[in-house]
Amino acid sequence: MDLSWMEWTWPTAIFLILLAAGLTVMSIWDMYVPSVKRKGFLPIPFTRGERFFISIVVFFAVMLLWLTFSDASLWYPLAIALIIDVIIARYG
């Protein structure tokens, strides 16, 4: 299988490894402590897995918007996205 078309960088690899680790941890956590739906500031009740998924989508959106409209460093949107993700995971 030829994967030379993909530019695999360390940040890409780290992100994918962390994403896989997060999904694994969430799956194991949900097996031992089943999640219940709760309502936070989001408009409908969500389980922690659904909030995790929403935070991943928000992370992608923040990063893509930053890449679209700015040429500055990617550390700023990373910090912004992580703060938003923690807020969604904790209070969403």
- Rounded to 5 degrees, φ, ψ at 72 are -75, 175
With cut-offs at 50, 70 and 90, classify the pLDDT of residue 2: low
In this prediction, residue 75 carries a pLDDT of 86
Gap between the Cα atoms of 78 and 65, Å rounded: 12
Q: What does the pLDDT average to over 17-41?
A: 89
For residue 8, pLDDT over 80 is answered with no
pTM to 2 decimal places: 0.76
Residue of 89 and 2 predicted with greater confidence: 89
**34-91 pLDDT per residue, tens:** 888 888 888 888 888 888 889 889 998 998 899 889 888 888 888 999 999 899 888 8
CB atoms within 10 A of CB 58: 16
